[in-house]
Chain A
């Protein structure tokens, strides 16, 4: 299988079953396929338990499918060895999760720099890159603050800076505005939109928030472990 139509990240016929106990299997994914186009912002919506987080984790190389394939920028990645997967995660993909996703003992700069260090930068370079990423996102005056000293929106901006610091192809967000109030959500969405326009970084955002979906270029819906193109999605 090759990547001929501009897809930066592609999931093909993904299956994932969780075994909760004997005779209690949860089919989280039942043949889900999804192509993320280069440079687009894609929203994934769908009811709770439909497999949104699961497909995002598998496409982000955090988890492996039971069956199916994942292609990143023309390379198959679902069957890579764990060392290579670590590299993919650190260099090519950025993650933003819902709330509480910073390391509480680290300052904003250290949190962002950690991503650089894991990608192989020396400590100093990583720090310089972190400071730049934080300035770009308007947190130049909060560099040495701990997460507990930042507002929810500021914390999420640090997370965005961290996701972007290594210049990834694609950023995956699992309800990135889930813990934020409407105004702050709006601010975060606009910021991601701006980054997308400026840098061409693709975004995949799992969300329940229609405003987020409306701000995206395209929207897909998940239902019972499958990706659909339904218009109404709840």
Chain B
């Protein structure tokens, strides 16, 4: 309480200083929420890729939708260490999907042969999963419900064809949220129809696949297996857990850099203004320091008193920055909810971390001014007018 009053002795100055920290923490919270969302999606991917190998066309990395033939499956299953390979066809929901922020909406048809081996289990908010015998049925990811106006028993349109919704997934916070699952055969035929005529002519739609998911035998290292398959099929893009992690690390590095950049700038700007304010405050209160020392205050007590004040400045700036950041994140996510694009995720660790960081910033910035105050000679301080 007394600390509070001391900080607000100069109200306007206190507000300005706190506001400086508020801005920094606001930026940190917003950027951090973006990074947290991405981390979460990446973690989903990491879980998905943890125990398997995927193979798609195009050896130069990147996501390729060029077709693979299901005839490849027996050859791959014949390899040592492979328990099973299953095929799927995936494409974007919108045919002319350009570059977009966040995850694109996807359509996937899986032959369901690997269903029992899959460790990335999906749970259903409503309805049921797809069965191999289903036709013209669909399961919709959590974020797609609003966007496609989907409900159990209703119909949704995928590239001109109608599907009856039989299931709605729980939120996973990663790729399945923005995916529509349809039967394998239907996916093959839609995919085939939208290929250029020149390509169509030498393809059999019933053999089409865009990705093979390869499940290793128990005890087989998926990274080792990925390397073997990659060596045998250099024309394909083969990804095991390690390779996925490596690709992801590269692409998240830039985000980490941005978040750290923001943190650094907020540290500089906010910290300098706290140093300035605390230095002025100590200067103005020289006589007060002299009085406290004449009453027997130890140097440590003087340091703690001023540190408490700068920590309070940091905490107030941190909390207001967090609240403002939280409001923006909520507003942006609410605005994006209808289109299913929620690009921010404010996690508890980010919230606690930001405020903690602000307090730390206040303390560190207060160190020099406090130390300076404690070192004042009591007599000089008392003579000061």
Q: CB within 8 Å of B: which residues of A?
A: 57, 60, 62-63, 82-83, 86-91, 95, 97, 100-106, 110, 114-115, 118-119, 162
Contact = CB atoms under 8 A, between A and B. Distances in A.
A82 B379 CA distance: 14
Interface string B253-292: 0000000000000000000000000000000000110011
B245 to A, nearest CB: 54
15 contacts: A62-B379, A63-B379, A82-B298, A82-B299, A86-B296, A86-B297, A86-B298, A97-B382, A102-B291, A104-B288, A105-B6, A115-B295, A115-B296, A118-B296, A118-B301
A88 B296 CA distance: 7
Q: Which 5 A-B pairs have the closest CB atoms?
A: A90-B296, A89-B296, A118-B296, A86-B296, A63-B379
Given A105-B2, A110-B2, A118 B297 contact: yes
Nearest to B7: A105
B288 A103 contact: yes
Given A100-B287, A105-B2, A110-B2, A62 B295 contact: no
Given A90-B295, A118-B301, A62 B378 contact: yes
B294 interface: yes
A114 B287 contact: no
B11 interface: no
B47 interface: no
Interface residues of B, number: 20
Contact of A62 (B6, B294, B298): B294
B200 interface: no
B146 interface: no
Nearest to A96: B294
Given A105-B2, A114-B292, A118-B296, A62 B301 contact: no
Nearest to A54: B379
Contacts of A60: 294
A80 B296 CA distance: 14
B291 A101 contact: yes
B296 A119 contact: yes
Given A103-B288, A106-B2, A118-B301, A63 B295 contact: no
Contacts of A105: 2, 5-6, 9
B291 A118 contact: no
A57 B298 CA distance: 17
Given A62-B378, A106-B2, A89 B294 contact: yes
B295 A57 contact: no
Nearest to B288: A103
Nearest to B298: A86
B293 interface: yes
A57 B297 contact: no
Contacts of B9: 104-105
B294 to A, nearest CB: 5
B291 A103 contact: yes
Contacts of B295: 89-90, 95, 114-115, 118, 162
Contacts of B292: 103, 114, 118
A62 B287 contact: no
A108 to B, nearest CB: 14
A162 B2 CA distance: 18
A162 B296 CA distance: 12
B341 to A, nearest CB: 50
A114 B301 CA distance: 12
A105 B268 CA distance: 30
A187 B302 CA distance: 34
A56 B346 CA distance: 61
A37 B265 CA distance: 63
A110 B2 CA distance: 9
A172 B65 CA distance: 90
Contacts of A87: 296
Interface in B282-338: 287-288, 291-299, 301
Given A62-B379, A101-B291, 16 more contacts: A57-B379, A62-B293, A82-B298, A90-B295, A90-B296, A97-B294, A100-B287, A102-B291, A103-B291, A104-B9, A105-B5, A114-B292, A118-B296, A118-B297, A119-B296, A162-B295
A103 B302 CA distance: 14
B382 A83 contact: no
Contacts of B291: 97, 101-103
B167 to A, nearest CB: 62
Contact of B294 (A83, A95, A100): A95
Contacts of B377: 63
B298 to A, nearest CB: 5
Given A82-B299, A118-B297, A162-B295, A62 B382 contact: yes
A57 B378 CA distance: 9
A174 to B, nearest CB: 9
Interface in B1-29: 2, 5-6, 9
A172 to B, nearest CB: 9
Contacts of B288: 103-104
Contacts of A110: 2
Counting chain A CB atoms within 10 Å of each CB, which of B287, B294, B299 scores highest?
Answer: B294
Contacts of A115: 295-296
A82 B2 CA distance: 26
Counting chain A CB atoms within 10 Å of each CB, which of B287, B291, B299 scores highest?
Answer: B291
Contacts of A63: 377-379
Nearest to B294: A95
A57 B293 CA distance: 12
A87 B296 CA distance: 6
A106 B295 CA distance: 15
